[in-house]
Amino acid sequence: MSLLTPELSLAWSFDPAPTFQVFLNVALAQEFVLTDPAHKVRRSEEDFTIEVKEAYVRAGRLSGGPSAQIGRQRFDDERKWLYDEDLDAVRLRYIRETFPVELSASRNGLVRKKLGGPDERERINNYVLYAIYAPRDWIQLEAYAIARDDRTANRQRPVFLGVRSGGEPVNDLDYWLELGYVGGRDGAKSIRGWGVDLGATYEWQVVLRPSVTLGFALGSGDRDADDQRDRSFRQTGLQTNEWDFGGSTDFKYYGEVLDPELSNLAIFTAGLGVRPTEKWSVDLVYHYYVQHRPAPTLRNTAIDAEPSGRSQRLGSEVDIVVGVVEILNRIEVKAVLGYFFPGTAFPGGTGAWGVDVEAQFRF
């Protein structure tokens, strides 16, 4: 089965002064299911939807000084390691030269997002404190504290603390570093987990602009599932883990097919890329996966298979990512082909593959 989802996004902004803005972004979409073997096309059960992606009022300048933003707004960090969502929020910022600070309280779908389709409202409150310090052009330091308060019967209350850094300390060498800790409660259990993600991309300024990327990520696992402390790291639940390795398009940098959350998992990554022009690029990316602690479950992956819990070796994946931007100044295309090779943690398991093609048209 294949899905085709045309979407039309309409945006409107009212800016009577530099210190005031009203913004609205609405998307109209219709999902079609392409069925085999007759290749028939039918509309999905969700039918036609109208989604309010952003709708907010801002007072104050974003370029400096204090500002406040209220309504549905975009929350995303560069690597989307923390969040990549449109949240209903109250957001306060203060920017002074190289030191922006942000404080927010939010919920996903406090007001219904879609007319038509499922109601995706959550009962989880998010509280975020985020600060950035950029003392030099080639380095940026960031720190954050994120608390999530689940108001449902699950009663999950994780607290995320972390520091991160990125920049270009040497010409053509870009690096990233994530150091995270999660505490709090998950029902009756306390949480004590840690995670790290680091790597670098080097690009040669020659014909085709070839690049090489090396990365390593590790989220701690739990030794004893029967005690009252969970030592597994987990991400916020708002992340999508998408970024680029210097190419023209973002992709899922932990694997397009497995697409795991960094929890009880070590991921070794190597990538080769070329970017002949600013408008298109090709990346070949390899991942090798190992569980930190052998366990019969994986947290939030894109495949349904579960490991045996008797081996740490989950397997490997190869992805090919092609990105093309600004075709006729109106079209952007992303195409991904990936294959996951199961390891000994999946005895008798077969491989999984995925194909994803996305196109955006601007009018």
pLDDT of 363 higher than 80: no
pLDDT given at position 121? 78
Torsion angles phi and psi, residue 188, rounded to 5? -85, -10
Residue 54 and residue 73 in contact, taking contact as beta carbons nearer than 8 Å? yes
Count helices and strands in the chain by DSSP H and E runs: 0, 23
Rounded average pLDDT over 192-217: 97
Dmax over CA atoms of the chain, in Å, equals: 64
What is the C-alpha to C-alpha distance for residues 137 and 167, in angstroms, rounded to an integer? 8
Fold of 192-363: Porin (2.40.160)
What is the C-alpha to C-alpha distance for residues 166 and 177, in angstroms, rounded to an integer? 6
Q: Three-state DSSP class for 285?
A: strand
Residue 213 and residue 269 in contact, taking contact as beta carbons nearer than 8 Å? yes
Residue 219 and residue 233 in contact, taking contact as beta carbons nearer than 8 Å? yes
pLDDT of 32 higher than 80: no
| Per-residue buried b or exposed e for 325-344, using 16+ beta carbons within 10 Å of the residue's own CB | beeeeeebbbbbbbebbbbe
| Per-residue buried b or exposed e for 8-17, using 16+ beta carbons within 10 Å of the residue's own CB | eeeeeeeeee
> 299-352: per-residue pLDDT in tens?
999 999 999 999 999 999 999 999 998 777 778 899 999 999 999 999 988 899
